[in-house]
Amino acid sequence: MLNEKLKKYTIILASGSPRRQQFFKDLGLDFTIQLKEIKEVYPKELKGNQITDYLATLKSKVFNTLTDRDLLITSDTIVWLDNKALGKPKDEQEAFKILQSLSGKEHQVITSVCITNNHFQKVINDTTTVSFKKLTDEEITYYIKNYQPFDKAGAYGIQEWIGFIGIKTIKGSYFNVVGLPVHKLYDELMKL
């Protein structure tokens, strides 16, 4: 349905995330993947969804050869805990530290999506609140060793083992936590 609506566009997904790519397939979209390296640095005064809005938009700016038919989708996800952004862990030690900090607490997962064409740009975002049970060091170590969550903001995937055993409650979109507020993106794309 969405593919028919967007048939005049060449949809470009600028994401290496297999989860985001799967969402696009599941939406029935024909799309290409284009990746460009970018330093994910943002002004320190930004908070919450200001960070993800900024980074999703920044990622669109490296694509300076778009045609009128191109529709570029860029996005960014952070985990927001105690007024701080948690990104992707660099190594096992950092992943352990991040998961320990999430243990027994509530945090927000914020994802922004930037839709760009030569004639318009629109940024949408969504926030989901996730609550973890108190995790043992053994559970954290097991998860890191077996699932290598180094490509995930907050060092976890809700759809993986840690989500099954560790998440007590979720308020908001599950898919947003996986990495894309699919319902909001769908609505926005249907308006084009």
Residues classed as catalytic:
76
Token duo for residue 56: 């999703």
Question: Token pair 């839709």 is at which residue?
Answer: 115
Contact 166, 139 (CB under 8 A): yes
Category of 104 on φ-ψ map: left (φ > 0), alpha (ψ -120 to 50) or beta: left
Phi/psi for 20 (5° steps) reads -65, -40
C-beta neighbour count of 142 within 10 angstroms: 14
Which token pair is 118? 């030569």
Is residue 63 helix, strand or coil? coil
CA atoms within 13 A on the CB side of 25: 7
Gyration radius of the chain over CA positions? 17
